[in-house]
A and B are shown apart, each in its own frame.
Chain A
Amino acid sequence: MHQAQLDELERILTNEPRHEPMIGFSTRVLRRVREEAATPAPIRFPWARLLLGLVPNLLLLLAAVVWVARQPASAWAGYPFAAEGFSLPVQGALAGCVAIVLSLAVAGVASRWVAPRRSAVL
């Protein structure tokens, strides 16, 4: 681009006409801001609680898989999930899933029992 063209571009883009905001613009913005300020902050997703529940459950699942894998096949004769065709790690995973479901159910019941007491205190 030649200097003359650069100057022309500079003239065009620097001297762009200014547009004043329409009457009431700031009022509209401030109304939205006040609405925003009056709205309670959204409740954050409880990532900490989720991790607190998830990590022990995953550890439990892992421990179950390892433990089951170390057992002799004969130890599982008669158990309902010891169906033929499932390898020991799969059976371990099934046992772990059952453990997770049970622990989540217990946690759910416990949190319902704790929550009303906490809100009563607050």
Chain B
Amino acid sequence: MSRGFGLGSPNQERDEDEAAVGRVLAGEVDAFEEIVERWQGPLCNLAYRFSRNRGLAEEMAQEAFLKIYRNLGRWRREAKFSTWMFSVALNHFRSALRRQMPSGVELTELDAATRVGDLEAELDAAANDDIVRRAVSLLPPKYRDTIIVFYFQQQDVAETAATLGLAPGTVKARLHRGRKLLEKKLTALGHPLAVSPQKEPK
């Protein structure tokens, strides 16, 4: 995730991750600090995109780091460490969200969930963006996961597919279906995905 988070070059990151993992596996527990320092931002942000709640996101990210620590020995070095790490975290986020949020939560409950009851605030672009992001987090899990990871991974289909353990074609199909679903739900809720004039892409 170097592109998105302004860390070192991908190769440098990869070498540093590999070295740190090697030291942890050799019994130097403190070397895990390097991994936490390097990846705490991206992992907390990914958790936030799923939960839309800062406290819960940090809790989920903390538990994800523990799972990563416990399973370090299972990382096969064919995949990038970050890809493997995000897929472990993703599995944890999914099960944490299943516990936190009843599966029946629907997009019709979006306004209550976002607490954007004020009409003026709803008209505000930032609030509208927030509604779209929350709507994504309330999509059925397979579409939610694909859309969140795709945009988190800077729209890299191959990286998204590797993180989710899916074929690139499946990722594309889920993105297409997920966007359609999102559009339909947002329209039904009276928040159609429209282009605001000041934000019209050049």
- Interface positions of A (Cβ within 8 A of B): 1, 4-14, 16, 18-22, 25-26, 28-30, 32-34, 36-37
Contact = CB atoms under 8 A, between A and B. Distances in A.
Contacts of B45: 16, 18-19
Contacts, number: 94
Contacts of A20: 41, 44
A7 to B, nearest CB: 4
Contacts of A8: 193-196, 199, 201
A29 B62 contact: yes
Interface in B140-176: 147-148, 151, 154-155
B124 interface: no
Interface of B: 5, 29-30, 32-33, 36-37, 40-41, 44-45, 48-49, 54, 57-58, 61-62, 65-66, 69-70, 129, 132-133, 136, 147-148, 151, 154-155, 179-180, 182-183, 193-196, 199-201
Given A13-B133, A19-B48, A1 B183 contact: yes
A93 B69 CA distance: 49
A33 B129 contact: no
B36 A29 contact: yes
A11 B201 contact: yes
A10 B201 CA distance: 10
Nearest to A34: B29
A40 to B, nearest CB: 14
Nearest to B154: A14
Nearest to B33: A30
Contact of B195 (A4, A18, A19): A4
